[in-house]
């Protein structure tokens, strides 16, 4: 089974992806995580990606599509869960040419909550756990005790730009995959546990 997680920045794709990976054995392919790894390692892709990511813009398609292509090939093109890709129609069409997608899960949230969710987001450099500043005000990871940090693109100005890009470029994918009969919508305003229950029903 191959699936796509769709949803605005802050909708909870990453949180759900971790659970889906455990429950269904799908390999989590997050383009955001892949780009962040490249940036940490200062690779040519990382250097190129950084200039776009820090402005809240999409990394150019030729870079992203190639990167995803290679990653999926390494996985034998099967049993993957895409998170953060495709992010526009052009990426979706490229993906459709080489991979079979069984289901697209759209995690739907009201736009109004996203700003707070993203600007308050903190993650652990050690174990990758992601949480919200309101539940961890002392800035230490509840899982491993390391320091929680804010992503460089989770600052207010950049978030505004990312939400704009989402509206203009990514949101049209909802209609695109509806037309292909693949879209399933879950209510991302509920608690992470409840959202996961809905996703399990869709996938089983």
Please report how many Cα atoms fall inside a 13 Å half-sphere around the Cα of residue 114, on the Cβ side.
23
- Is 188 a binding residue for ligand ADP by CB under 6 A? The answer is no
**CA-to-CA distance for 43 and 47, rounded, in angstroms?**
6
Give strand pairing partners of 30: 83
Cα distance between the two ends of the chain:
11
Give the x-and-dash track for 43-72 against ligand ADP (CB under 6 A): ---------xx--xxxx----x--------
13 is catalytic: yes
Q: Which is nearer to ligand ADP, 51 or 79 (CB)?
A: 51
Span from 11-19, 30-38, 61-69, 116-124 in contact with Zn ion (CB under 5 A): 116-124
Span from 11-19, 49-57, 69-77, 137-145 in contact with Zn ion (CB under 5 A): 137-145
In contact, 71 and 82? CB cutoff 8 Å: no
Q: Measured at the alpha carbon of residue 197, what is the angle toward residues 168 and 192, in degrees to the nearest 5?
A: 60
From 151, 182, 184, 190, the catalytic residue: 151
Name the residue with tokens 């509806």: 178
Using Cβ positions, the residue closest to ligand ADP within the complex turns out to be 32
**Residues engaged in binding ligand ADP (CB under 6 A):** 9, 31-32, 35, 52-53, 56-59, 64, 84-85, 87, 91, 153, 162
């Amino acid at each position: 089974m191959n699936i796509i997680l769709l949803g605005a920045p802050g909708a909870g794709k990453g949180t759900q992806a971790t659970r889906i990976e455990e429950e269904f054995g799908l390999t989590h392919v997050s383009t955001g995580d892949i780009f962040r790894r490249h940036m940490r390692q200062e690779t040519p892709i990382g250097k190129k990606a950084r200039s776009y990511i820090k402005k809240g813009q999409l990394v150019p398609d030729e870079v992203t599509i190639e990167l995803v292509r290679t990653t999926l090939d390494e996985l034998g093109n099967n049993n993957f869960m895409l998170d953060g890709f495709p992010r526009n129609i052009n990426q979706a069409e490229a993906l459709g040419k080489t991979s079979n997608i069984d289901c697209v899960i759209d995690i739907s949230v009201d736009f109004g909550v996203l700003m707070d969710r993203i600007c308050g987001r903190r993650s652990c450099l050690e174990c990758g756990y992601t949480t919200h500043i309101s539940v961890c005000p002392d800035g230490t990871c509840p899982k491993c005790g390391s320091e929680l940090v804010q992503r460089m693109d989770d600052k207010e100005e950049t978030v505004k730009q990312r939400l704009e890009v989402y509206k203009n470029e990514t949101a049209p994918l909802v209609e695109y995959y509806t037309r292909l009969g693949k879209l399933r919508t879950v209510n991302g305003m509920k608690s992470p546990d409840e959202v996961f229950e809905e996703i399990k029903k869709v996938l089983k």
